[in-house]
Structure 1
Amino acid sequence: MLSSGLRLAVTTFTVVPLRAGRVDRAAAGVAMSVAAGVGGALGAVLAGALLALDAAGAPALVAGAVTVALGALLTRGLHLDGLADTADGLGSYRSGEAALAIMKRPDVGPFGVAALVLALLIQAAALAALPGRPWPATLATVVTATAAGRLAASWACRRGVPAARPEGLGALVAGTVGPLPLLVATAAVVAVAAAAVPGRAWQGPVAVLVSLAAALLLVRHVVRRFGGVTGDVLGAAIEVTATLAYVGLSFG
């Protein structure tokens, strides 16, 4: 089960082509419990790209934008798609099946476009503020924000949170993560965050906790509106949390 869960986590959150193992709720629980670790590994790759671009003399905003684009490529853009669909569902002011039907449409509405543009712009601008910092702080910042996004997905899959549909990714992972994995993963991300802003060890942990709180409020609202979580909602929670974490970590 552990091996299957780890493979499921990697294939769910990245484009790494691992052979699929057992796919059931037990494996899904493992996958969602280690989501922050997969996010941290992805963040290390993105931080390496950002630092390499900076060393090559790329303008800061170009380096930030390319790093964001690489992140979208390495995740197949699934989380961004989830953000757009969730924004359209919420922006429709409909509830239940009517909102879910809007989210399943292949096109992207104005709310979705606005959410995508703002998230990508904010992330790129925040990354552009990092190259002047010591490289360990830049590494910690990108790892923290990327891991915090996936940690939000873990919290969205905690026990007691229902799925909005009887099928799909949401039905597979909803309610599968217990309190101990959540506490361990949160503590690990907060610990890494302490190294993100030189001279301000408190700023990183606060940024993580505030961004997670925002994601939990989003999930709570979505559960009331849609009846539970879906794969799109998890994607939205990831992008909202990562974006807010980048904002909080970019100051200083």
Structure 2
Amino acid sequence: MSEIPPSPPSPPSSLHGLRFAFGTLTVLPVRVTRWDREAARAGMLCAPLVGVVAGALAGLLGAALLLLGAGPLLAAVCAAAVPAVLTRGLHLDGLADTADGLGSGKPAEEALRIMKQSDIGPFGVLTLVLVLLAQVAALAEAYGGSWARGVLAAVVSAASARLAMTLAARRGTPAARPEGLGAAVAETVPAAGALALAAGLAAAAAAVGGALLGTYGAVRTAAAVVLAVAAAELLLRRCVRRFGGVTGDVFGALAETAGTAALVVLALG
């Protein structure tokens, strides 16, 4: 009787996490091989890495345009467009839907229904316009300083945006609905792991900022990460009180809020 060949070893959870993170948070052609709580936990812990990649692509595009003779404003517009393209605009759509839900003044169930509608209301439109203007203005300020400042701002912003999503997936923050991406990733990340990741990202940002811009650059870059997370946390708590938990739209809103806050801090001074 012939022996049954052993089955090939399954990829480690870290690889499943990377696939989950890049497959759900970007349009890059990455196949998600597992869709369970363990893969979701690993994926959300890998989310800031997705931000680093997206931010690097955005920042380098802006830098290339500067080197080709474009002005800081055009470089900023193109850099701001890259994360939107890489997410099919889902984070921006989530920001608009969350703004409509919060601004509706309706009970939680009705607000969640409003957020699921395909159209965008006045609160969503106004929020999108202001946020995109702030992002472009802050990136233009950074690129006006140097291409290195522009790339650093784009990377820190995108990484902070995904870090906010990791923190929102920590245990103790429930899902508002039993279905959807929000329910798939809600409460998958240990709080200690999320906080350690946040501290590590702030330290890494400070190191890179210090190497490129000196001591003040290190402080400002670390502050950008910390204040971005703080802004997202305020919105998260508001959404949990208002909707009873998080949804996929809320995750998108948190990402855009944190990313914009980081850019604004980096534009100061």
TM bucket, shorter chain: over 0.9
Question: 1 CA distance for matches of 2:75 and 2:147?
Answer: 14
In structure 2, which of residues 78, 81, 88 is the aligned counterpart of residue 76 of structure 1? 88
State which drifts further: 56-65 or 185-194: 185-194
- The structure that has the greater radius of gyration is 2
Equivalent residue, structure 2, for 1:67: 79
- CA RMSD, aligned part only? 1.4
Cα distance, 1:135 vs. partner? 4.1
Aligned length: 252
TM-score if structure 1 supplies the norm length? 0.95
In structure 2, which of residues 27, 52, 55 is the aligned counterpart of residue 15 of structure 1? 27
Q: Structure 1, residues 165-214: CA drift from partner, whole Å, max 9, x if none?
A: 01111111000111343133212321233244724121111121112111
In structure 1, which of residues 221, 224, 241 is the aligned counterpart of residue 241 of structure 2? 224
TM-score if structure 2 supplies the norm length? 0.89
Equivalent residue, structure 1, for 2:185: 173
Supply the AA of the counterpart residue of 1:241: A
Question: 2 CA distance for matches of 1:53 and 1:192?
Answer: 27
Q: SS in structure 2 opposite 1:129? A: helix
Tell me the percent identity.
51
Cα distance, 1:216 vs. partner? 0.7
Question: 2 CA distance for matches of 1:219 and 1:196?
Answer: 28
Equivalent residue, structure 1, for 2:156: 144
Question: 2 CA distance for matches of 1:164 and 1:145?
Answer: 27
Cα contact 2:142–2:266 (8 A) shared by 1: no
Equivalent residue, structure 2, for 1:43: 55
* Structure-2 change in CA distance of 1:108 and 1:10 (3 Å): same
Cα distance, 1:146 vs. partner? 0.6
Question: 1 CA distance for matches of 2:224 and 2:107?
Answer: 31
Cα contact 2:57–2:82 (8 A) shared by 1: no
Equivalent residue, structure 2, for 1:108: 120
Cα contact 1:4–1:27 (8 A) shared by 2: yes
Equivalent residue, structure 2, for 1:213: 230
- Deviating runs (4+, > 6 A) in structure 1? none
Question: 2 CA distance for matches of 1:192 and 1:65?
Answer: 26
Equivalent residue, structure 2, for 1:233: 250
Question: 1 CA distance for matches of 2:79 and 2:221?
Answer: 20
The reply to whether residue 91 of structure 1 matches residue 103 of structure 2 is yes
Question: 1 CA distance for matches of 2:232 and 2:254?
Answer: 5
Q: Structure 1, residues 133-172: CA drift from partner, whole Å, max 9, x if none?
A: 3544433222111100000001111000000001111111
State which drifts further: 221-230 or 194-203: 194-203
Cα distance, 1:38 vs. partner? 1.0
The reply to whether residue 3 of structure 1 matches residue 20 of structure 2 is no
Cα contact 2:75–2:140 (8 A) shared by 1: yes
State which drifts further: 178-187 or 211-220: 178-187
The reply to whether residue 246 of structure 1 matches residue 263 of structure 2 is yes
Supply the AA of the counterpart residue of 1:37: L
Q: SS in structure 1 opposite 2:258? A: helix
Cα distance, 1:116 vs. partner? 0.7
Runs of 5+ consecutive residues of structure 1 not aligned to the other structure: none
Equivalent residue, structure 2, for 1:58: 70
